[in-house]
Structure 1
Amino acid sequence: MEKTGLVRGRYRLLERIGRGGMGEVWRALDESLGRQVAVKCLKPLGPELDEHSARVLRERFRREARVAASLQHRGITVVHDFGEDDGVLHLVMELLDGRHLGQVLEDNGHHPLPLADLVDVTEQIAAALAYTHRQGVVHRDLKPANIVRLADGTLKICDFGIARLARDMDPGSRLTSAGIAMGTPHYMSPEQISGGSADHRSDLYSLGCVLYELATGTPPFDQEDAWSVLVGHRDTPPRPLRDHRPELLEPFERLVLDLLAKEPGDRPGDAAELGDRLAAARYAHPAGSPVPLNEPYEPRLPAWTRGMTTGAKAVGALARATPPDVSTGLTGPWTGRTGPTATGPPPQAPVRPPPPPGAAAALARRHESGLTLARRGCWAEAATTHRAVAAEREQILGPDHPDTLASRYEAGTALLRAGRPAEALTEFERVAELRQRALGPDHPATLLVRQDQAHVLGRLDRHFEAHQLYAAVLAARERADGPGHPDTLRCRHNLAVTLGRLGRAADSYRTASEVAAARSRALGPDHPDTLITRHEVAHALGQLGRWADALRVYREIAAARRRVLGPLHPDTLAARHEEGVSLGRLGRGAEALELYRDLVEQRTRAGGPEDPDTLRARHGVGVSLGRLGLWPEALSEAREVCAVRERVLGPGHPDTLSGRREIAVCLGWLGRWEDALDVYRRVARDRENVLGPGHPDALASRGDEAHCLEQLGRSAEAVEIYRRLAGLRGRGPAPG
């Protein structure tokens, strides 16, 4: 391309800043938004590629670029756009001010990096890989040239899937018919060399190679001949790191050698484990050093951690593994400064006595144990741990210190997952208030907890308040990030859900449709985020009575999820369940019954016979039997399902009450109105106790009771209930 060429009428190339085997990188001006970006232009498709192969590679490029664009993490280079211009495929990315780790080593004369830098690199890259692996994305080409260190110390991983794709575009770059790339064999895993499939553990092996080189100044297998390097990866144990650098202590050496295990199953389970192991090594070090090293360590956090919290959702393994300091806590110096909305001079932080020696470290360990409990699904125990740590951190550090708020935030998350949303709301409200005061209302950490706060309000059926909060957060996200940013779209998706819960089906349908279209453009039609928003589109169609359209969308979602996730994935089965609901609403009971019976079999295989979702599918079987007029069979099914639900979920659980109501429906259709009345009254009483007398479900149950009384000829009692219901509906729902 010409030096001043205009790419796709928008990106003006200003200066070539890099050139390599895969193409060129240019500093460019995005003339639409007035910002500088990096444009990576891949090499043109070679003339040896036939039309079919070129078309396949173009489609692969689009798919890989969409995946890269969907990644949103401080340790991942942001991809803004991609496309093709005059036969050249290109990516538009954030412009990074820094040098990749290969250049960092060159700047250091290929001498090993300082020990504190090694720990920092390990933590940051582990946190970024832990995020991408949770998204199901594997890099497959991790190496020093793909990791950039910015001026403030932040590390960014580049080229997810793209470098590998660029080599595929040049058949001359292949080593064998199996497709082993010759470009950088020093960082390839044994399974990649053998032509096997690569998963997240292959990235861990490549990270081990990078860390080995940074720690010793040389890759683990540094022979001149590429074949010897490949054979070394496959067959030869690497030399211990301390043979090259005796001052390295055993915990760090052990971590790197574990990453370099030949068998994927012998490597650490995931990237998050690396940060945990570093943290454990620090705290267990017999000399009491904050890191398992024998030279002084000074905490040097990247600039983006200023004023940020340390919870698992906020900063991941980096913050969890950062050594505590009695004067600064986990997040560095804290002044208690106010955010941009505050007026007047910032209040002075209260003078606090120094904490007892080792107190901050002990609290950091307990915070980590709370995160471990959460990862194991022990939500109630995690909540208790985080609440206790928050109380002690408040005494030592103050109520608005990031570490205190991190523990409160994690306590709220655990309480919500433990089924205690009212208590979770209290924690989130406190964190939101203090983060807004310290960081400002539009800070990402503030918006994160305010969005969680809105979610809990929805769980408590306080949908009007949830709607107001989502709308405020959405406005802030659009100001800060723009309408197409993933966080903005996530907030708009939640707003669409809330509109549906408020009965505003048309608004919900319109908003969800817009989000689904935007996500489809950015991420692809089969991306999980796109499909979950399409699920909300289908739900709104059902609310609008457009059940045929809802059925079509649910079937498309189920087919896509079956392709991408597999037939037994919970999301696939959830879409199929909604297919059954739609068929029932359309009067196609026989088809619904067949679908639900198949779904019961699949749910039983996936989760067992007493799993709540299995019981939901059995509930659908009973409803379908009733719609077909098979009321004795429907009653038998309803009673069995209700008995299991009462034992597994409890007598007051919404699913149990829904199952009991289905028993009453069956009894009514069988003409057993006295028996039905007893069941309806019990359901109404339990719903009022659990949900409140003004809740829509409680009102519906009292309506069932009145209808049953009418069937028994007791019209006066029925009229009295209808009058009471009219009064309750006039006042609106009682607070949840």
Structure 2
Amino acid sequence: MADTRLIQSRYRLLDLIGRGGMGEVWRARDESLGRLVAVKCLKPMGPQHDKAFTRILRERFRREARVAASLQHRGVTVVHDFGEHEGVLYLVMELLDGHNLSQLLEENQQRPFPVDHVVDIAEQVADALGYTHRQGIVHRDLKPANIMLLTDGTVKICDFGIARLGHDINVTSRLTTTGIAMGTPHYMSPEQIGGKDVDHRSDLYSLGCVLYEIATGVPPFDLADPWAILVGHRDTQPEPPRTHRAELPGFFDRVVLDLLAKAPDERPADASDLRRRITLGRSGEHETLGPSPLPTGIAGAYRTPESAVRRPAPELPPWARNMTSGSQATGSLNRGTGLPGPAAGLTVRWTTATRAATATPPGTDRSTGVPPARPAPTPELLAGLAGRHSSAIDLGRLGRWEEAGDVHRAVAAQRESLLGPDHPDTLASRHEIGLTLSRTGRAADALREFGQVAAGRERTLGPDHPQTLAARQETAHVLGQLGRHFESHQVYAAVLAARERSMGPDHPETLRCRHHLALNLTRLGRPEESWQLARQVADDRARLLGATHPDTLATRYEVAYTLGRLGRWAEALETYQDVARARAATLGPDHPGTLAARYEAGISLGRLGRSAEALELFRTLVADRTRVGGPSDAETLRARHGLGVNLGRMGHWEEAVTEAREVCAIRESTLGPDHPDTVLSRREVAVALGWLGRWAEALVAYRQVAEARGRGLGPDHPETLAARHDEAHCLDRLGRKEESAELFRTLAAQRAQNALPPH
């Protein structure tokens, strides 16, 4: 690889910055975009290695590289690209300016970090893990060498996906025969050691080990014998960190011990729960977190003597026999060669030296062209802004979009003042502002915001950067919200072409774009094309992510929807039922996605004339929706609407009119009299009254529907005309023939006028 120097005619290797058991890391230049990047190359397997295992390993690298490339979070190393060149698999990542925690410990002779830095690192890693775990990704090799501290105070987790390679294959029988090193055992969870199923709580245990080490200077089981270390993780309670370092705050001691619980169920429920505990602890014990110098100048030597007693080793997995404990579980800096140690990660400068010039900043000296000096923000201030940014995202996830928007606007203003309008963090805040505007019905404002973010990211990061494309894709979504479906389709198509060009056809973001393009085709009245594309995306997602992955199920849901639009209700029903079962198993029976699929299955049953089954489904769905969301929740009312419709189909018209009236009343009080859902319920009231022969009451209801639709949709809209047609039918039933005939004539003239071609 060193002789090649140029990969795929795009990435020029400049110098080697890291080497490990699995491959090398190079500083490189992206010739297409003119930026510096890091390129990680997987070491080719020699003929002495098991060919079947090599094939599995390479396929796993590709699959996990795709997943890693889909992660976009301040606390996760950005993956730009991946592929294969002359038999060598490579991964292209952002180039970072900082050191990993293992290096910092060694450079400071294993002295612990200052307390405030330890707590800040814990909070930032918890935030990043919370994001990755929500994406269904478990790191499985979290250790100091895989956590980077940048010079601006940002903490990033490295090697997502790559660290999972060995663990996703049959490690107990394969890895010990291939010569691939397993690494050190200092950070492995008890369930990893025992060969049991591993989930996100294993990462929390590993984080507890990391925090223990950077807070005290030693890992929780600081022994030279790897068997003794493994037994310690499995069977021995660690000493509280404060027994080694009394100045540690009490809340931190409790947090670390909870993370190091032997049973996963006894640890924090998830990384978000961990982050909340840290935040609450900081607010309650802030007096212990005074200012201190940066970690590169850590002061105050502390070294815990080896005091742990070696115990006889019970039975452990066979693969553990070949493990070595390493040197206090830290990496090394080969100062003679200038290369980081085996797992040092990416430790050189992140640069945007090739960014295009932006607008002249206010205050620029026009005679010299020198912009005004901007005060350098402190790491603490940047970290605080990052925390507020993440908190606002959490508010959005809770549906509190207005509050989230207020926080994002405040953070964006401060970031722009400190970092500039085109800094990635400033643009990240503005991107989130756009999302809050979109979610609160301000689509036109959101369109302007996303347009400006996309332009800024194109200047800063390049036109094909994932973040630039993400902003353009949101632009397409908002255009659809505004009813500008053709423009939306054009933007989606352009973004898709860029994603396929820069990321490849199988990248998760490429597939996400194709998914949304399929949805937009339905809006354009092209359901057959929509179905064809959605089916292809579902197949590709199943192949790459698995048949029960949430993204795969989301696309299969859209396949079912397009089948319904095509009148293929039996196929739609079968697909909705499959999606509902899979979501119940993977997301839970009360997950909104599970309940939505059950609702659509009920609609399909009704369309197939299987009203008795539909009625039973809607009865249980109403009960579940009421329990989960409450009686006035919009989805509860949708389920009750479906129940009322099927009561009518079964001939239970008295029950149907009662149900429709109750739903209509709640919708009117919560949504307003002219809301489409309220009008739909009022029409169901009218239908039921008509079937009961109560035509005078039905006439009043139909007139209310026509008036509301006239105000909302216009007097010539097909739905408004349909309501007036029902009104004329009621007049006829009441014996008011002349009025009925006159209204029918008026409607016929309006429809004829609407059918004329525009001049």
Query: TM-score scaled to structure 1, two decimals?
Result: 0.71
Q: Quote the residue 1:156 is aligned against.
A: 158
Rounded to whole Å, the distance in 2 between the matches of 1:402 and 1:150 is 15
Does 2:603 match 1:585?
Answer: no
**559 and 394 in structure 1: CA distance in 2 versus 1, 3 angstrom threshold:** closer
**26 and 517 in structure 1: CA distance in 2 versus 1, 3 angstrom threshold:** farther
Identify the match of residue 716 of structure 1 among 742, 745, 748: 742
Unaligned 5+ residue runs, structure 2?
Answer: 1-17, 26-38, 298-348, 364-371
Rounded to whole Å, the distance in 2 between the matches of 1:19 and 1:516 is 37
Identify the match of residue 446 of structure 1 among 468, 481, 488: 468
Cα RMSD between the aligned structures?
A: 5.4
* SS in structure 2 of the partner of residue 187 of structure 1: coil
Rounded to whole Å, the distance in 1 between the matches of 2:130 and 2:534 is 30
Q: Quote the residue 1:38 is aligned against.
A: 42
Rounded to whole Å, the distance in 1 between the matches of 2:113 and 2:674 is 60
Rounded to whole Å, the distance in 2 between the matches of 1:458 and 1:66 is 32
Does 2:541 match 1:515?
Answer: no
Q: Quote the residue 1:295 is aligned against.
A: 293
Identify the match of residue 674 of structure 2 among 652, 655, 664: 652
Give the deviation of 1:251 after TM superposition. Answer: 8.8
Listed one character per residue, the Cα deviations across residues 517-551 of structure 1 (whole Å, up to 9, x for unaligned) are 21111112221111111111111111112222222
Give the deviation of 1:512 after TM superposition. Answer: 0.9
After TM superposition, the structure 1 stretch with the greater mean CA deviation from structure 2, 653-662 or 236-245, is 236-245
Give the deviation of 1:375 after TM superposition. Answer: 5.1
After TM superposition, the structure 1 stretch with the greater mean CA deviation from structure 2, 401-410 or 616-625, is 401-410
Identify the match of residue 494 of structure 1 among 516, 526, 550: 516
**728 and 600 in structure 1: CA distance in 2 versus 1, 3 angstrom threshold:** same
Listed one character per residue, the Cα deviations across residues 590-647 of structure 1 (whole Å, up to 9, x for unaligned) are 2222222232233334334433223222222221222233333322222222223333
Does 2:629 match 1:607?
Answer: yes
* SS in structure 1 of the partner of residue 648 of structure 2: helix
Give the deviation of 1:479 after TM superposition. Answer: 2.2
Identify the match of residue 557 of structure 1 among 579, 584, 590: 579
Letter aligned with residue 202 of structure 2: S
**165 and 373 in structure 1: CA distance in 2 versus 1, 3 angstrom threshold:** closer
Does 2:224 match 1:221?
Answer: no
Listed one character per residue, the Cα deviations across residues 682-731 of structure 1 (whole Å, up to 9, x for unaligned) are 22333344455576655654554455556664122233234335555769
Listed one character per residue, the Cα deviations across residues 444-496 of structure 1 (whole Å, up to 9, x for unaligned) are 22221222222233234332332222222222222221222111111111111
Contact 2:23 2:42 in 1 (8 A): yes
Q: Quote the residue 2:320 is aligned against.
A: none
Contact 1:505 1:543 in 2 (8 A): yes
* SS in structure 1 of the partner of residue 483 of structure 2: coil
Map 1:55-204 → 2, pairs under 5 A: 69-71=66-68, 72-73=70-71, 75=76, 94=91, 104=103, 108=107, 111-112=110-111, 125-143=125-143, 155-158=157-160, 159=162, 161-166=164-169, 168-170=171-173, 185-189=185-189, 199-204=199-204
Give the deviation of 1:660 after TM superposition. Answer: 1.4
Rounded to whole Å, the distance in 2 between the matches of 1:691 and 1:43 is 71
**93 and 435 in structure 1: CA distance in 2 versus 1, 3 angstrom threshold:** closer
**60 and 591 in structure 1: CA distance in 2 versus 1, 3 angstrom threshold:** farther
**43 and 523 in structure 1: CA distance in 2 versus 1, 3 angstrom threshold:** farther
Rounded to whole Å, the distance in 2 between the matches of 1:64 and 1:557 is 29
Rounded to whole Å, the distance in 2 between the matches of 1:408 and 1:348 is 20
Letter aligned with residue 449 of structure 1: A
Rounded to whole Å, the distance in 1 between the matches of 2:123 and 2:581 is 39
Give the deviation of 1:374 after TM superposition. Answer: 3.5
Identify the match of residue 545 of structure 1 among 558, 567, 575: 567
Q: Quote the residue 1:349 is aligned against.
A: 361
Letter aligned with residue 724 of structure 1: Q
Letter aligned with residue 570 of structure 1: P
Q: Quote the residue 2:485 is aligned against.
A: 463
Rounded to whole Å, the distance in 1 between the matches of 2:499 and 2:247 is 48
Listed one character per residue, the Cα deviations across residues 234-255 of structure 1 (whole Å, up to 9, x for unaligned) are 6766456677679989998786
* SS in structure 1 of the partner of residue 186 of structure 2: helix
Rounded to whole Å, the distance in 2 between the matches of 1:552 and 1:353 is 64
Contact 1:66 1:524 in 2 (8 A): no
Identify the match of residue 704 of structure 2 among 682, 698, 702: 682
Contact 1:79 1:93 in 2 (8 A): no
Rounded to whole Å, the distance in 1 between the matches of 2:588 and 2:285 is 45
Letter aligned with residue 717 of structure 1: L
Q: Quote the residue 2:315 is aligned against.
A: none
Q: Quote the residue 2:325 is aligned against.
A: none
Map 1:269-288 → 2, pairs under 5 A: 270-271=270-271
**244 and 360 in structure 1: CA distance in 2 versus 1, 3 angstrom threshold:** closer
How many residue pairs were aligned?
651
Higher relative contact order (CA 8 A, sep 6+): 2
Rounded to whole Å, the distance in 2 between the matches of 1:39 and 1:281 is 44
* SS in structure 2 of the partner of residue 94 of structure 1: strand
Contact 2:100 2:149 in 1 (8 A): yes
Rounded to whole Å, the distance in 2 between the matches of 1:594 and 1:161 is 45
After TM superposition, the structure 1 stretch with the greater mean CA deviation from structure 2, 390-399 or 353-362, is 353-362
Letter aligned with residue 94 of structure 1: L
* SS in structure 1 of the partner of residue 158 of structure 2: strand
Identity %: 52
Q: Quote the residue 1:574 is aligned against.
A: 596
Map 1:658-677 → 2, pairs under 5 A: 658-677=680-699
Give the deviation of 1:171 after TM superposition. Answer: 9.0
Rounded to whole Å, the distance in 1 between the matches of 2:504 and 2:194 is 45
**587 and 254 in structure 1: CA distance in 2 versus 1, 3 angstrom threshold:** closer
Rounded to whole Å, the distance in 1 between the matches of 2:755 and 2:602 is 31
**590 and 371 in structure 1: CA distance in 2 versus 1, 3 angstrom threshold:** closer
Does 2:637 match 1:635?
Answer: no
After TM superposition, the structure 1 stretch with the greater mean CA deviation from structure 2, 112-121 or 550-559, is 112-121
Letter aligned with residue 663 of structure 1: V
**527 and 66 in structure 1: CA distance in 2 versus 1, 3 angstrom threshold:** farther
Rounded to whole Å, the distance in 2 between the matches of 1:165 and 1:541 is 37
Q: Quote the residue 1:49 is aligned against.
A: none
Rounded to whole Å, the distance in 1 between the matches of 2:109 and 2:237 is 23
**294 and 117 in structure 1: CA distance in 2 versus 1, 3 angstrom threshold:** closer
Identify the match of residue 417 of structure 1 among 430, 439, 452: 439
Contact 1:248 1:293 in 2 (8 A): no
After TM superposition, the structure 1 stretch with the greater mean CA deviation from structure 2, 240-249 or 568-577, is 240-249
Map 1:210-249 → 2, pairs under 5 A: 210-214=210-214, 216-225=216-225, 228-230=228-230, 232-233=232-233, 238=238
Rounded to whole Å, the distance in 1 between the matches of 2:411 and 2:636 is 38
Rounded to whole Å, the distance in 1 between the matches of 2:392 and 2:692 is 53
Listed one character per residue, the Cα deviations across residues 653-691 of structure 1 (whole Å, up to 9, x for unaligned) are 332222111112222333334432322232233334445
Contact 1:390 1:407 in 2 (8 A): yes
Letter aligned with residue 130 of structure 1: G
Give the deviation of 1:217 after TM superposition. Answer: 4.6
Query: TM-score scaled to structure 2, two decimals?
Result: 0.69
Map 1:307-346 → 2, pairs under 5 A: none
